[in-house]
Structure 1
Amino acid sequence: MRGGARSWAVWAVGLSAYVVAVLHRTSLGVAGLDAQARFGIGASALASFAVLQLLVYAGLQVPVGVLLDRFGSLRLVVGGALVMAAGQALMAFSDGVGGAVAARVLVGAGDAMTFISVLRLVPQWFPSRRVPVVTQLTGIVGQVGQVLSAVPLAALLAGAGWTTAFISASAAGVFVAVVAMVALHDSPERRISTGEAVTARRLGSDLATAWRHPGTRLGLWTHFTTQFPGTVFALMWGYPFLVAGEGLSRATASSMLTLFVIVGMVGGPLLGVLVQRHPLRRSWLVLGVIAMNALGWALVIAWPGRAPLAVLLLLVVALGLGGPGSMIGFEFARTFNPPNRLGTATGIVNVGGFVASLTTILLVGLILDARTGGRAAYDIADFKVAMSVQYAIGVLGVLGILRTRRLARQRLAAEGVHVRPLREVLAERGWFSAQRLGKG
């Protein structure tokens, strides 16, 4: 039975693999200052580690999506967990940049296999009416992995040291791989599902068809614009910004990253319910999240000198909503594509946020190095200039959303689905007078 206790148990197993994947993904963020000291590198070199990791992740999304349609979730989740565990073990014993680079490549490759594989389980195990909420829960509860990196992993780094911290992370990856191997099932009917063989002709057809649909591209631009501010903050620059820029203690900075996750966990189900109830207004929810992120950073950047803790809390709350907002991109992919093409479409969407993130992470690192001459001695003014680059990426994403939303609505109209302008709906409900809204 879809949606019963067995469904939740299988989903929980997949979710545990994603939680550990997020731990691996964000581990470099809390270890950033330690990594600079261990490897003797500057900000741009450190940023290149994260950029390479995300580049591998983003570059593998479409191939992994195709493999997911062919081989199912179980095999990819187990393989991804073991690849990431190998990467963290390599990082634990690396003393040079070469080993660290190879380690982050492995983490990016394993991470690429995990999230969309767990997302694929949701429509397989739950009725369609529950899918938006469970999808949000998947993305948001998975961010508990950030708490694991911000608190216990950070504590191990400060106490037991580098090697113990990363070996512990590797052990967690092996553990979830074993659990998934024993308990995960691709669908209620089959433990392991196998799709049609992948041929070059079918691969090209699925990719082209998924990409041509403006709903898929709307999902990509949604993910691109909503996800990157939070990812840049949690994965790479948030911890150094709070500690070196804003002068917070390591413990307080870890608490702020924990709050970031909690906000997402609370906001995710709420956005999921709104998406479920108002499926034709999803893009307005997306634009609202983007506006909150932009206003949060504007307040911190405009504040003279270091911002007070209350202002930083507002920023973290705004950024915490970016993760739930990005999950709406996968809803666009799900509703605009048939089940046999879902893995491919989901992979296309998932590329967006990580391309934006890796671009921003690298630009922030380059700007910091340019202002400090490559020395790891940053002040708040350096961070304000560097973090402002996010607005350029955000504007590009908003333009993409507006264009593809218009095209998607034209496609819906051609299929007989009319999306009424939001102002007409608000006027009808008496929120604004027709006079104020205008006649056009």
Structure 2
Amino acid sequence: MALRPGARAWAVWSAGLAAYTIAVLHRTSLGVAGLDAQHRFHIGAGALASFAVLQLLVYAGLQVPVGLLLDRFGSLRLVVSGALVMAAGQALMATTHSIGGAVAARVLVGAGDAMTFISVLRLVPQWFPARRVPVLTQMTGLVGQAGQVLSAVPLAAVLAGPGWTTAFIGAAGAGVFVAIVAFAALHDTPERRISSGPAITLGRLGRDLREAWRHPGTRLGLWTHFTTQFTGTVFALMWGFPFLIAGEGLRRTTASTLLTLFVLVGMAAGPLIGMLVQRHPLRRSWLVLGVITTNALGWGLVLAWPGRAPLPVLVLLIVALGLGGPGSMIGFDYARTFNPPNRLGTATGVVNVGGFVASLLTIELIGLILDARTGGRADYGIADFKIAMAVQYLVGAVGLVGILRNRRLARRRMAEEGVVVRPLREVLAQRRRLAPRPVVKAKT
């Protein structure tokens, strides 16, 4: 593969990125429409949360099967199929007035969404040299998050103006458009437009999944994704807009601006984290732990603030949450470096389960706590939200234990293979010993 990718490689990546961006728009559309959905379907916080939980449950449950299908059928077919399935879900959401119809719509969105991200991610090592993969992996995940801006600003504006049906029909139209673009522009590899892998058999399916899961590096990727991603996903997908408006008392326009800032922070931090991963691959876990600590401190400041937090404090929270997306992408780098190419789709699917399982559990727990506090009424106060949001620390603690345990196991496996990861304190101590001492000239 050429060291400098050509215009064709960038065109393929851009088409995949457009498909992923619209997938994120579909994924997060219910978050900005949460309060409208409660009035349209006459439901409480717990039932509203169950919509998002079901969507994420479908998404997470399909990650491993989609990973296997990706290894078999390639990116093009899965990206196009996913875009059309999500468009169908949004069209149904636009027209239904029943809870059953809304549930079916979110199932379709979750299923199509599951096909998109890892399929686009699979294109990167096919079209770009290995040295560019960590940064472009970050860019894929983070530029795609511009879909949150599309839901937080134009979709929210259409909801507040023309209304529900127009907003979701517009989202469905965007899905059909990117399906056409993907069909026209995507190629699975530089050599073949459609690349098919070996046929899926039960034996191969079980072997690939078993070998991917057995490697502690894959599990380290899963727990990394689990712990770094869920706080931002919970905020953007479901509870951020209600928290800022009903809890903190902000106007819709201000809340939309903060959600836009959330995306911009991730887009700015992603390339930096990608370069650090590229230059210091044996120190990736320290970046992960730094992101987790920053998220915990951001929420701790807001939850400990008496009453409603001032806008600068909320901005600090948004900046902290914005680092979660780039941090979660390190999980996919673990999958790439600890697994051979023939099971990369499977390993990536396993990793991608983590953050969305954590997110769906947290979304549902927050909804149940809010319902318990208000008796199912949608009149939440800041005290209700503070108690509900604090449950994130419990979920994060579970993930942190998983990271530390599997980091130890992965390092042991690497040592068996001849790669020794020295403790960071030893590396820093050696650098201090080797650092040149300043020359002090004698006075004359």
Say whether the fold is shared (TM-score over 0.5): yes
Q: Percent identity?
A: 80
1:437 aligned residue:
none
SS of the aligned residue for 1:429 comes to: helix
1:117 aligned residue:
119
2:441 aligned residue:
none
Counterpart residue identity of residue 240, structure 1 = P
Q: How high is the TM-score relative to the length of structure 1?
A: 0.98
Counterpart residue identity of residue 421, structure 1 = P
Q: Residue 426 of structure 1 contacts residue 432 of structure 1 at CA under 8 Å; is this kept in 2? A: no
Deviation at 1:431, TM superposition (A): 9.7
Q: Residue 229 of structure 1 contacts residue 322 of structure 1 at CA under 8 Å; is this kept in 2? A: yes
Q: Residue 81 of structure 1 contacts residue 173 of structure 1 at CA under 8 Å; is this kept in 2? A: yes
Rounded to whole Å, the distance in 2 between the matches of 1:384 and 1:94 is: 33
Rounded to whole Å, the distance in 1 between the matches of 2:421 and 2:9 is: 34
Rounded to whole Å, the distance in 2 between the matches of 1:362 and 1:251 is: 26
RMSD (Å) for aligned C-alpha atoms: 1.1
Q: Report Cα offsets for 1:350-399 as digits up to 9, x if no partner.
A: 00000000000000000000000000000000000000000000000000
From 133, 138, 141, the counterpart of 1:139: 141
Matches within 5 A, 1:239-278: 239-278=241-280
Rounded to whole Å, the distance in 2 between the matches of 1:226 and 1:180 is: 30
Deviation at 1:56, TM superposition (A): 0.1
Deviation at 1:432, TM superposition (A): 13
Matches within 5 A, 1:3-402: 3-402=5-404
Rounded to whole Å, the distance in 2 between the matches of 1:259 and 1:41 is: 30
Q: Report Cα offsets for 1:40-65 as digits up to 9, x if no partner.
A: 00000000000000000000000000
Rounded to whole Å, the distance in 2 between the matches of 1:174 and 1:226 is: 32
Counterpart residue identity of residue 210, structure 2 = A
SS of the aligned residue for 1:280 comes to: helix
Rounded to whole Å, the distance in 1 between the matches of 2:404 and 2:375 is: 39
Q: Residue 92 of structure 1 contacts residue 167 of structure 1 at CA under 8 Å; is this kept in 2? A: yes
* TM-aligned CA distance change 1:97 to 1:431, over 3 Å: farther
* TM-aligned CA distance change 1:251 to 1:207, over 3 Å: same
Q: Report Cα offsets for 1:138-182 as digits up to 9, x if no partner.
A: 000000000000000000000010000000000000000001101
Rounded to whole Å, the distance in 2 between the matches of 1:427 and 1:242 is: 45
* TM-aligned CA distance change 1:98 to 1:432, over 3 Å: farther
Deviation at 1:429, TM superposition (A): 2.1
SS of the aligned residue for 2:203 comes to: helix
Rounded to whole Å, the distance in 2 between the matches of 1:313 and 1:35 is: 27
Rounded to whole Å, the distance in 2 between the matches of 1:213 and 1:45 is: 38
2:408 aligned residue:
406
Q: How high is the TM-score relative to the length of structure 2?
A: 0.97
- In structure 2, runs of 5+ residues without a counterpart are 436-444
How many residues of Structure 1 are paired with residues of Structure 2 in the alignment? 433
Deviation at 1:430, TM superposition (A): 2.3
1:424 aligned residue:
426
Rounded to whole Å, the distance in 2 between the matches of 1:426 and 1:262 is: 33
Rounded to whole Å, the distance in 2 between the matches of 1:330 and 1:263 is: 20
Counterpart residue identity of residue 305, structure 1 = G
Rounded to whole Å, the distance in 2 between the matches of 1:173 and 1:117 is: 16
SS of the aligned residue for 1:374 comes to: coil
